[in-house]
Amino acid sequence: MLKPSKLRADFIKFLLRGNVVDLAVGVVIGAAFGTVIAAVVKDLITPLIGIIQRRDYSQLTFTVRGSTFNYGDLINAVVSFFLIAVVLFFFVILPINAMVARQRKSATTSDPTTKKCPECLSEVPIAARRCAFCTSVIEAAAAT
């Protein structure tokens, strides 16, 4: 059985790993961002839609046998979800995809550092005159 001090040390090591801390920060910021977007939808966008259609969606309800269903809040939640999705797409996903594509493009344009041996097809350095594997003579690369 593990000693309590060993368990405590392992638990603290687990908590302080980079992935756990990053995930915790991401969840907290995501929750705060969701709250801000919900407030924007409830306090700005829904009243603007209400001005156009002369209706306040946040107050829409219906009652069945004494139970009240606030489907206006559902409309606000759906609008909030789509706004969060749009913001994440344009400000997170698109920039990351562009950065990854740029990184892949720069990685493929680098000059080769090896060439194939014509006899055994193993990889040898560009400047090699003989293959390290089969010792065959390799023609010098053409100077550019």
> How does pLDDT run across 72-118, given as a tens digit for each residue?
888 878 887 888 788 788 887 898 889 888 888 776 666 778 888 88
Assign a CATH topology to domain 4-110.
Answer: 1.10.1200
Residue 144 and residue 142: Cα distance in Å, rounded? 6
In the predicted structure, residue 71 carries a pLDDT above the cut 70: yes
Percent of the chain with pLDDT over 90: 4
Q: What is the 3-state secondary structure (H, E, C) of 88-105?
A: HHHHHHHHHHHHHHHHHH
**Distance between CA atoms of 94 and 116, rounded to whole angstroms?**
38
pLDDT digits over 105-139, tens only?
776 666 778 888 888 988 988 888 888 888 888 88
Residues 144 and 125: their CA atoms lie apart, in Å, by: 17
Ordered by start, the domain boundaries in the chain are: 4-110, 111-144
pLDDT given at position 141? 53
User: Which residue shows structure tokens 């006899």?
Assistant: 119
The mean pLDDT value for 26-55 works out to 80
- Please, what is the average pLDDT of the chain? 81
Please say if the pLDDT value at position 23 is more than 70. Answer: yes
Between the alpha carbon of residue 34 and those of residues 10, 69, 82, 91, 125, the distances in Å are: 33, 23, 11, 15, 54
Does the structure show a pLDDT above 80 at 2?
no
142 pLDDT exceeds 50? no
